[in-house]
A and B are shown apart, each in its own frame.
Chain A
Amino acid sequence: MHKSLKVPKKATPYLLLFPIFIYYAVFWLAPVVSGVREVFIGMDGGFTLTENLKLMFQSELFSESVLNTAAFAAISVILQYIIALVLALLLSRKFTGSKLLMFVSMIPMAITPTATAILWKTGLVKDGWINSLLMNLHIIDQPIVFMNAEGFNAILLLIAIDTWTVTPSVMIILIAGLQGLQRELKEAAYTFGANKWQILKDITLPILKPSITTSVIMRMIAAVQVWSIAVMVLGYSKAPFLVERIAFYVDAIPGVDTSTKLAYTYSFLTTIVVLLATVVYLRVSNRNRIAGGGEEG
């Protein structure tokens, strides 16, 4: 045995993971640190605790962007979950055409955000396909000018588009969970007298809970970061969101000192929000594990 090759046993894992540490230090930690630093450096180049935060709080559309983000995250996640759950329960039963329906319902997943935005934009304009469809079906007489939607209506419009895009991926997670569920667990409930609704309420959903919680938090984090459809369908500042503001200051009014500062500060705020969501997620999922949501075996 070569003496020079001898490495203390405890150090081996760190040694093996060293390249990853470097990678994270260079490509993740460094930008994060410099980003956070910018938040605490004032216009004059000196340290400041609150100057940039004040700038953000007083910036145009700040409170709207916070409220919109919260509303969007809450409503879209709940809506997507209800639809996805109904679809998943439906599609996890085998019936004629269930495969086709599954295929059709997964199409939105394959479309890029840009294409989604264009698809909906062409539908939402005054003489777009949604209006002509609704008028041909005699549901409305006059075309609706969707693109003029403001405030909460604009948010609802974006929630609809986001739901259309994202629901399939939520559905896939739920279907996977349903298919992984041991058949005998439901059969046992059935033989002991539970009806279909009781089986769903008492057995299926509680057992799926860990995978539901995981994906809900993942969806919430994604929802907090919404911006591209808002900008692509409605344009900047029509439906302000936290991340939309960042893009706005970087993209729409670049070069101004305050823009850069605001972009950094908004990023910082978003990170904090996402971080909080993650902490909540980890707590909830830990509690689930202790509660025996673990696997058989």
Chain B
Amino acid sequence: MSYLEIKNLQKKYTANGPLIVNDMNLSIEKGEFIVFLGPSGCGKTTTIRMISGLEEITGGDITIDGESIVNKLPRERGVSMIFQSYAVWPHMTVYDNIAYPLKLQKLPKDEIKRRVEKAAEATEIQGLLKRYPAQMSGGQRQRVAVSRAIVVEPRLFLMDEPLSNLDAKLRVTMRTELKRIHTQQGSTSIFVTHDQSEAMSMADRIVVMYKGKIEQIGTPMEVYQDSATRFVAEFIGTPPTNFFDASIIKEGKEIYAKGEGFYYKVPASLHQALADYVGKEVDMGIRPEYIGISPQKKEGEGYLCDAEIDFIEPQGSHSILITRIGTNQNVKIHTVDYMDMKPGTKVSCYVKNEMVMFFDRETTKRIK
């Protein structure tokens, strides 16, 4: 039995309406940092609102430590939440903001003081306790919200896009900060975001959600390198995975993926998985860094096609080359070897390390 269990969780807002959260199942271990990642409307916020008790569930169950929490009031669940707008109360000082949850628990004054100071220390806002939120920056208010969340010593931290109101630079600093506080407090956290780089950099495991369903649960490396569905391959990674329409063809012992402009010999490791797809159309996906290029003609293992580079986007540490392959007019190639390539250069493209992914057209699931 895991620490937090979500079983067949469902949510509908109207009786005949769509399922916003559709039969979700998830187990979280104590101390994990879980990120719910998905585009807006995928049900990720609804899910943590159901865990926090702000939203009623339509079906299923949620348990913490084996005990169902769905019929409990938020305060009995032992969860605390950090909101997108921080939800720091404007009429209270920082001290009162952090102390309010403890005052509601009717704790003695000196214990409240001690715990507030400890929480303020953890987020480095000891010097701001007498200030009002209006006199503080977004980042400082965020720290107040974090202090208020840790002061109650919750069993579970819920964070609903807590960084999206911050400016880009601060957002990156606060990622590290939140992760540090999570580790220091030894807490279990669920963090909701639509920003995949935020998810990648913070999560122990990422739960990728789309249209109310879980597409994949895995470590950042797993969801990136070993995407379970076409959606995951497309949503995670900047630039995203390049997709090509391909039909699977068998010639003797070999299997080929044939598309407009390329004829790719599929590595042997995928032969078995693709056996059922011979003669069928599939989606072929290659991540930008797994398309290799060579200015000299290079046919052979992994060869995809010849192409002409249209644009170059230098990023300093690497460059993104943009080219056309078949019907895909916007193929992006991540390169560190040819960062100064001129537009118009003719190159041979090949797949590096057999890192090619095939997806079923119907189910969008990965074929492997």
Contacts and interface: CB of A to CB of B under 8 A. Distances in A.
Interface of A: 182, 184-185, 187-194, 198, 202-203, 206-207, 209, 291-296
B91 A188 contact: no
A207 B81 contact: no
A190 B81 CA distance: 10
A184 B105 contact: no
Contacts of A291: 91, 132
Nearest to B152: A192
B100 A202 contact: yes
B87 A207 contact: no
A177 to B, nearest CB: 13
Given A182-B87, A202-B100, A292-B134, 18 more contacts: A184-B84, A184-B85, A185-B90, A190-B53, A191-B81, A192-B101, A193-B74, A193-B75, A193-B105, A194-B104, A207-B89, A207-B90, A291-B91, A291-B132, A292-B93, A292-B133, A294-B134, A296-B133
8 contacts: A185-B87, A185-B89, A189-B100, A192-B75, A192-B80, A207-B89, A293-B90, A296-B134
Given A191-B53, A191-B54, A207 B133 contact: no
Interface string B98-137: 0011001100000000000000000000000000111100
Given A191-B54, A193-B105, A292 B84 contact: no
Report which residue of B54, B90, B105, B135 has the largest number of chain A beta carbons within 10 angstroms of its beta carbon: B90
Classify the interface of chain A: helix, strand, loop or mixed. Answer: helix
A191 B52 contact: yes
Report which residue of B52, B74, B79, B87 has the largest number of chain A beta carbons within 10 angstroms of its beta carbon: B87
Contacts of A198: 104
A185 B89 CA distance: 6
Contacts of B152: 192
6 closest pairs, A vs B, by CB?
A: A292-B132, A193-B75, A192-B101, A188-B87, A184-B87, A294-B134
Contacts of B101: 192-193
A184 B83 contact: yes
A79 B52 CA distance: 39
A192 to B, nearest CB: 4
Given A190-B54, A192-B152, A193-B104, A293 B81 contact: no
A38 B259 CA distance: 98
B88 to A, nearest CB: 8
Report which residue of B52, B75, B89 has the largest number of chain A beta carbons within 10 angstroms of its beta carbon: B89
A207 B91 contact: yes
B74 A203 contact: no
Interface residues of B, number: 27
A291 B109 CA distance: 23
Contacts of A190: 53-54, 74
Report which residue of B101, B133, B134, B148 has the largest number of chain A beta carbons within 10 angstroms of its beta carbon: B134
A188 B89 contact: yes
B341 to A, nearest CB: 45
Contact of A192 (B84, B91, B100): B100
B148 A192 contact: yes
B83 A192 contact: no
B96 to A, nearest CB: 10
Contacts of A188: 81, 83, 87, 89, 148
Contacts of B87: 182, 184-185, 187-188
A207 B90 CA distance: 7
A202 B81 CA distance: 19
A228 to B, nearest CB: 38
Contacts of A194: 100, 104
A55 to B, nearest CB: 49
A137 B333 CA distance: 85
A252 to B, nearest CB: 49
Given A184-B83, A191-B53, A191-B81, A206 B91 contact: yes
Nearest to A296: B90
A137 B134 CA distance: 55
Contacts of B104: 192-194, 198
A294 B135 CA distance: 9
Nearest to A184: B87
Interface in B41-76: 52-54, 74-75
A206 B132 CA distance: 14
Nearest to B104: A193
A52 B81 CA distance: 67
Contacts of B92: 206
